[in-house]
Structure 1
């Protein structure tokens, strides 16, 4: 059995020689499965002594992170989750300062430092602003991981250049680093580190005879004895174990349930009656089924994996991830999973049945669709993709076969086997996916360079589908998948969508060309921009197609030229 992430924590705080303690600290270690999907949160904050309310800022900042971080979506990356929480806390603190009588004095508002760490899987993510510090002790070497955000006016006077609550917009330092078993992280406020030497820190936290809680107290007590006049807080975090799994163990976990056999029509399977075979490949079998326990309920789709692939962990993980992903997306334009309350006895997934046709079949039935019908379908696909992107997911396989249109015209995205989830990619338990998972004709060029995808990569795939619906062809033919260098991609030439036999406005062609640019940074950056420009000419297009002034108004043109010539003559005569 592989080790799970585990830590030991020692914490101690004291007001020292001050009347109140304006420091605040905390650690939250959740249980599984949250421990794997979100990690462990640690934070320390230090209020500024010139403010009477900074202790409120310290507590609010630490509690906000520890409480709200774990409420963010498990599909989000650590950075996005923490950023959302810290930004919200900073906005609240700043607004509180603006409401109080000291709103024009940053030194008297709701202000504090904050040094936080999220440990997830084998990585530590650090978020820092102010002058509290985080150190790492590894193999006897102490390293300061954070930089003090303090500006010195003189040898005796300084001020915080960055802190929670000072400004309406948050600006923090961020870094990530790989952790190792035995690493020790020390979180301390300036009341401690300004009086305790590095050698003493190393000795205090390295002594195996000293309990880790006692180590934190020793750091605080020693700083106090050495003359510290500030509040004093120390946290000592030791990494006891980190997750590690080999492929064989992962396969055993994924295949805890037996693989189902190939099912026949009218067969009874795990409480379902198989109605018909919908689709079969060498990788999976898809069936339409009815629930024997509730015959009046809507039919569902059951998908079973191929027995031939039971030794391929990456395939099995993607297969099981489809249902997990579907359960976390709420959109009318994304395939919905079926909530099965009964215990499963086999390895399979269950989804809603969509009575309709794929976009591939729709294009066969509608070889020359109207521009408006294309807009309606593409707009619905875009709404589904936006639901993915809000959760930091990339579909990565948008193609006509993965788009269903039901009998009422509702469009739904199906098949999430290639979907990349930012939050899960940070876990070592997750088997690393290949970059190129989609169908080559619809895959964005950057994937063929080995680059990581982004929402604009899904946008490229959607633009290819749009182009194909309007023209019946592909914008670059088969050249994109063959272009695996920057030089080759720079030579790609977009084939215009304008044809004599189809009524496609020039500005629509311009929109498609922009969305299909081989360079991802020269495309639309948002799906909403692409959809908007499909409905009306963009300002960029209008400015490009605007006729010269000479053609639009010859009189004004020659009048302007005459005025310029007169000014030139006057200038020359005055020389």
Structure 2
């Protein structure tokens, strides 16, 4: 069992010499899987003195952040989740001011500063707007981890240059710093940090090491003695333990399970009756089974006997249902609800009655363009469901795409899926192995680069190309490349040379989707699917490569033919002269 992230937190806030306290602060330490996947949140907000409703803004900002952040997808990274929540809160505060009597005077509206810190795994993620501060105590010195968003006019006058709720769109400073046991972080409003030094904070933290609330109160009292005339709030966070070993608390239950023996038709497994085998490979066996409780058919995947000692593969098996439960798209296979206790490790998903795209391509060697477009657009919708949650499929291939009897396309097999939120929770468990199938994997994987959504786009483009031609756009050359130089020499085989029915403008769209350089691919999946239906003038203006590049064999055949003709003419001329 891994050691969880453990912290001690102390907090204190006072109105000081002012009539009301417009500061607001809070902290939330979840337990269990939420602690590993979402982390610990600490936040502070400071209202502005010119606004009578700024206290409401500060309180709303803190409460909505701590509530909404933990409602975001577990798959999202901390940065994505927190920034979206803060941006939504900013929009709400700005709208409230615009609806009120001070619509034209933001200094009297729902405006406040906002600073939050999310502690997850071994990182502190800091989000900052305004002039509250996050500092780290090093000895008796405070190391600032944020910059004040304040413009100084004179020694007597300054104003905030950035605040939550002040503009329709807010700019958020973001920073991530590593955590070490014993680190002491200080979150404070300007009423505190403008009047106390690092030595004061260090003395208070040491004197009240067992009661950080008392330490925070002592710091506030010292700031008052030093002449602070503002509201005063301070939060102290001490790191007691950081995760080590195999970080995977969110999969703790599954980690204790072992794969079952390969079941025979008619046998039972945790309330599922196995009907027949659907598929078998060196990695897994998939069965059609009946849930005896719901009487519904399901697909049951059991790890192969060949990989039962492969810890990395078994971890990916654990993740498959976790991923499926968080995706909501008609073009992604779903995981049915499961309430019964499991005694073994396996994956259960909905049963899709139909065929794989690989089989469909065998049955339809010459599909019409409209059918290919329809399938491509459904694949894109499924991929977008992944990418919206910061997931990469990473093993997109015809065998992992199902077409049911109604023609609906569904993506399956999430054993290679990369989830940003899980990677943050277990960074040491992430390996940069090529998990997908080599023929469809993007070139960047083969030079050791980490994949992005554009890597899924490459695989998607290869599949569309294959539907139209029955071949791969670079043949078998991509997996052989091990450097950027080698990849720059890859030569795209025009689809129109293999299948004359492919229009040149579609060929150009395919060429862009599968470009060896990920930054030269499309900016969005929707751009690619749009260009499959509408000629893109920009792509059509692209200079056609010389024949020597497009088809070296044909080029040298032409050169040889010309040389042969020249030799024949020369011999004929010599014969005449003789």
Q: Which residue of 1 aligns with 2:404?
A: 406
- The 3 A distance-change label for structure 1 pair 266 and 100 is closer
1:196 is displaced (CA, Å) by 0.8
Q: Which residue of 2 aligns with 1:368?
A: 366
**Partners of 1:501 and 1:88 in 2: CA distance:** 49
CA deviations 1:285-304 (Å, max 9, x no partner) are 2212223456xx33222111
1:6 is displaced (CA, Å) by 1.8
**Partners of 1:24 and 1:104 in 2: CA distance:** 25
Q: Which residue of 2 aligns with 1:133?
A: 133
Q: Which residue of 2 aligns with 1:283?
A: 283
8 Å Cα contact 2:61-2:89 kept in structure 1 = yes
Q: Which residue of 2 aligns with 1:558?
A: none
8 Å Cα contact 1:131-1:160 kept in structure 2 = yes
1:327 counterpart SS class: helix
1:108 is displaced (CA, Å) by 2.4
**Partners of 1:95 and 1:489 in 2: CA distance:** 51
**Partners of 2:209 and 2:365 in 1: CA distance:** 79
CA RMSD of aligned residues (A): 2.2
8 Å Cα contact 2:440-2:459 kept in structure 1 = yes
1:152 counterpart SS class: strand
CA deviations 1:203-254 (Å, max 9, x no partner) are 1113355621111001111111111111111111111222222499999965
Q: Which residue of 2 aligns with 1:178?
A: 178
**Partners of 1:25 and 1:491 in 2: CA distance:** 57
1:338 is displaced (CA, Å) by 2.8
- Spell out the pairing of 1:116-131 with structure 2 (5 A cutoff): 116-131=116-131
Q: Which residue of 2 aligns with 1:564?
A: none
**Partners of 2:122 and 2:272 in 1: CA distance:** 42
1:99 is displaced (CA, Å) by 2.9
Q: Which residue of 2 aligns with 1:440?
A: 438
8 Å Cα contact 1:187-1:234 kept in structure 2 = yes
8 Å Cα contact 2:124-2:178 kept in structure 1 = yes
1:496 is displaced (CA, Å) by 0.9
**Partners of 1:453 and 1:501 in 2: CA distance:** 31
Q: Which residue of 1 aligns with 2:394?
A: 396
2:326 counterpart SS class: coil
1:285 counterpart SS class: strand
2:429 counterpart SS class: coil
Q: Count residues in correspondence.
A: 544
- The 3 A distance-change label for structure 1 pair 15 and 542 is same
Larger mean CA deviation between 509-518 and 428-437 belongs to: 428-437
| TM score, norm. by length of structure 2 | 0.90
**Partners of 1:85 and 1:419 in 2: CA distance:** 25
Larger mean CA deviation between 27-36 and 529-538 belongs to: 27-36
Larger mean CA deviation between 134-143 and 77-86 belongs to: 134-143
1:162 is displaced (CA, Å) by 1.3
8 Å Cα contact 1:280-1:286 kept in structure 2 = yes
**Partners of 2:106 and 2:521 in 1: CA distance:** 42
Q: Which residue of 2 aligns with 1:463?
A: 461
Q: Does 1:298 align with 2:296?
A: yes
Q: Which residue of 1 aligns with 2:222?
A: 222
Q: Which residue of 1 aligns with 2:524?
A: 526
1:280 is displaced (CA, Å) by 2.0
- The 3 A distance-change label for structure 1 pair 251 and 236 is closer
| TM score, norm. by length of structure 1 | 0.90
CA deviations 1:67-86 (Å, max 9, x no partner) are 11001111111011001100
Q: 2:352 aligns with which of 354, 362, 367?
A: 354
Q: Which residue of 2 aligns with 1:327?
A: 325
Q: Does 1:383 align with 2:376?
A: no
**Partners of 1:250 and 1:335 in 2: CA distance:** 22
Q: Does 1:476 align with 2:485?
A: no
Q: Does 1:57 align with 2:60?
A: no
1:428 is displaced (CA, Å) by 2.6
**Partners of 2:90 and 2:438 in 1: CA distance:** 44
Q: Which residue of 1 aligns with 2:37?
A: 37
Larger mean CA deviation between 513-522 and 266-275 belongs to: 266-275
Q: Which residue of 2 aligns with 1:13?
A: 13
- The 3 A distance-change label for structure 1 pair 472 and 278 is same
Q: Which residue of 2 aligns with 1:149?
A: 149
**Partners of 1:63 and 1:272 in 2: CA distance:** 44
- The 3 A distance-change label for structure 1 pair 380 and 171 is same
Q: Which residue of 1 aligns with 2:567?
A: none
List gaps (5 residues or longer) in structure 2: 544-578
8 Å Cα contact 1:138-1:182 kept in structure 2 = no
Q: Which residue of 1 aligns with 2:167?
A: 167
Q: 1:486 aligns with which of 484, 487, 495?
A: 484
8 Å Cα contact 2:356-2:403 kept in structure 1 = yes
Q: Which residue of 2 aligns with 1:188?
A: 188
